[in-house]
Amino acid sequence: MELLITALIIAAVLFGIGLYGALSQTNLVMIMMGIELMLGASMINLVAFWRYLHPEAFSIQMFVLIAMTVMALEGAVGFAIATQRFRTSGTVEMEESAELKG
């Protein structure tokens, strides 16, 4: 039980930092880093609860590996978009992306 509480506290701190980073920044890269922190915190919660409820089952590990792969792919696509945005307009600030509409 103590291990579950420790994991949940760590995940809550990571989620809070990620939420603050995603909501307070205007730079696309910083927003994506905040979202990645929040996704990582949710993975910690998933593993902690699964380990607490089913300590003998290891099937969640494959699910977490697949989810982490999808997170890495999402980050790679996002950074590619940010790189292309920087090459075309010279900035990755979200405030200056109004020309992306329509």
> Residue 98 has what pLDDT?
66
pLDDT tens per residue, range 4-49: 999 999 999 999 999 999 999 989 889 999 999 999 999 999 999 9
> Residue 92 has what pLDDT?
85
Nearest to 25 by CA among 75, 94, 71: 94
Give residue 57's pLDDT band: very low, low, confident or very high (50, 70, 90). confident
Whether the Cβ atoms of residue 82 and residue 92 lie closer than 8 Å to each other: yes
Say whether pLDDT at 101 is over 70.
no
Tokens representing 9?
């506290």
- What is the pTM assigned to this prediction? 0.84
Enumerate the domain spans of the chain. 2-92
Whether the Cβ atoms of residue 85 and residue 98 lie closer than 8 Å to each other: no
The phi and psi torsions of 93 (rounded to 5 degrees) equal: -70, 135
CATH architecture of 2-92: Orthogonal Bundle (1.10)
pLDDT tens per residue, range 85-98: 889 888 888 877 66
DSSP of 38-96, one letter per residue? HHHHHHHHHHHHHHHH-TT--THHHHHHHHHHHHHHHHHHHHHHHHHHHHHHS--BGGG
How far, in Å, CA of 42 to CA of 35, rounded?
11
